[in-house]
Structure 1
Amino acid sequence: MRDCARGLLDVLYPPRCLGCGGRAESPRLPLCPTCLRSLERAPEMEVAARLDRLPAGKGVFEGAFALWIFDKGGTLQAVQHALKYQNRPHYGVPLGRLMGEAFAERHPIPEGVVPVPLHRTRRLERGYNQSATLAEGAGEALGCSDRPDLLTRPHPTRSQTGLDREARWRNVRDAFAADPAAAHGHWLLVDDVLTTGSTAVAAGETLAEAGAEALYLMTLGLARQ
């Protein structure tokens, strides 16, 4: 019944593109084809350089990638904010599929896709984990399962917004936990936006210490610095 109601609303009020305000490509992907094509791909070398600036950033990942450049005030920020803060979890799966398709162009298929987790308090406040919805879509595109069970966040942390690189690292370096009985394998870690890379590296280190044999990282966006 809910799907029928949503379908009727989509006919009466077609979803609008968050970039230009025109008609979106689909109710689940909030961008028109023109705005989707206009998003700037993130250079792979820039992602690697960002991680290398961290004390523990080198060697955690076999490869680290972001799909697009995240410009403040730009189209991707509008999409990511809607996904993360405006109760639009259904945007995550199609965006995650695009991430998975891009990853598969040049890299081996992992055993599973692991979302960067939220602490349970933040998860209850938001009602969902936006990274888990991206991981679900990436797993669909890659033909492997998403594995939100492999990594947990038992320790609450403050928001990373407004913190410098060193403070971000101190904030999250001990935030995660992984079960050594389940972590063995080759995994793709997924998150929404890479800023300094502190969260991704802390999560990756935790999986590696628990026995992960190979790790890759994929994010939706790379923040300009």
Structure 2
Amino acid sequence: MRMANLPWQSVGRVWSLALDFVYPAICAGCGIMTGSHRGLCGPCWSTIPFIERPYCEVLGIPFVHDQGEGAISPKAMASQPVFDRLRAVAVHRGIVRRLVHSLKYKDRTELAPMMATWMARAGAEELRKADAIIPVPLHRWRLFLRRYNQAAELSREIARQSGVTHLPRSLVRKRATKRQVGLGRKARLRNVEGAFEVPAENRDTVLGRRIILVDDVFTTGATVNAAARALKRAGALEVTVLTFAMAFAAPI
């Protein structure tokens, strides 16, 4: 039977089988064959250090013991962030670190839908109340060199899955900054100070709104604090940071 005479469902099935032959379904973590694309094998899945309650209501850092509803960690009390709260999928180590690195530096943008699905679950409560989703932007020269913004890849998928408005141009990085990797906390703060702004023509997209600010990984918080400060100055009502990974020493 000629391809032209096949029903569209059959054509799609043939095309899917052809793609599976050329690009077989493999685990996004270790590379072994799996039953579906954009997934993990059982052993890799079992090693993911998911962040679950109980955790600090502000920073999302997990507690060893339940501290009661609305508990805030000493770290959040000692240094209150500019953003209102943070939610993350998992601790930045092992397979989680590899996924972040692959998306960010190895052009593995096909990982974004899977990672975004987990992020949408981690931030489900805040997404239900959100008015818009905004990615942490790259400077235009960094974007030109890398060709894509990993935060925008994630935020676009989260918006598609949640139905929340995606505003990838409402926040811009007006000044080129050094890579944060390898910098100490104070150096990170200086590096991103004043680096973000909401252009005047975009302020009405932010004013009075609850914003979900998306990034791939949270470390010291310097970048998302600087971005949240720009959003708050433009009149954002709330800023919730949603990341795939969080780097910290241990539960408290």
Answer whether TM exceeds 0.5 for this pair.
yes
Pairwise CA distance, 1:104:
1.1
Task: Provide the residue aligned with 2:230 in structure 1.
Answer: 206
**Aligned equivalents of 1:165 and 1:25: distance in 2?**
43
**Aligned equivalents of 1:91 and 1:100: distance in 2?**
14
Pairwise CA distance, 1:7:
6.1
Contact 2:28-2:111 within 8 A present in 1 as well: no
Contact 1:16-1:30 within 8 A present in 2 as well: yes
Identity %: 33
Pairwise CA distance, 1:205:
0.7
CA offsets per residue over residues 145-198 of structure 1, 9 Å max, x none?
Answer: 221111000100001011011110110021101133332111100000101010
The code of the aligned residue for 2:40 comes to L
Q: 2:85 aligns with which of 57, 63, 74?
A: 63
Q: Is 1:128 the equivalent of 2:148?
A: yes
Contact 1:18-1:75 within 8 A present in 2 as well: no
Contact 1:93-1:134 within 8 A present in 2 as well: yes
Q: 1:182 aligns with which of 205, 230, 234?
A: 205
Q: Is 1:97 the equivalent of 2:117?
A: yes
Matches within 5 A, 1:39-50: 39-42=48-51, 44-45=55-56, 47=60
**Aligned equivalents of 2:236 and 2:22: distance in 1?**
49
Inter-CA distance 123–6: structure 2 relative to 1 (3 Å threshold): farther
Inter-CA distance 122–11: structure 2 relative to 1 (3 Å threshold): same
Contact 2:133-2:159 within 8 A present in 1 as well: yes
Inter-CA distance 20–151: structure 2 relative to 1 (3 Å threshold): same
Q: Calculate the aligned-residue CA RMSD, in Å.
A: 2.6
- Consecutive unaligned residues of structure 2, counting only runs of 5 or more, are 1-13, 62-72
CA offsets per residue over residues 65-104 of structure 1, 9 Å max, x none?
Answer: 1111111xx1112111111111122221331122112211
- Consecutive unaligned residues of structure 1, counting only runs of 5 or more, are none
Task: Provide the residue aligned with 1:16 in structure 2.
Answer: 26
TM-score by length of 2: 0.77
TM-score by length of 1: 0.85
Deviates more, 1:176-185 or 1:80-89: 176-185
**Aligned equivalents of 2:77 and 2:185: distance in 1?**
9
Pairwise CA distance, 1:13:
4.1
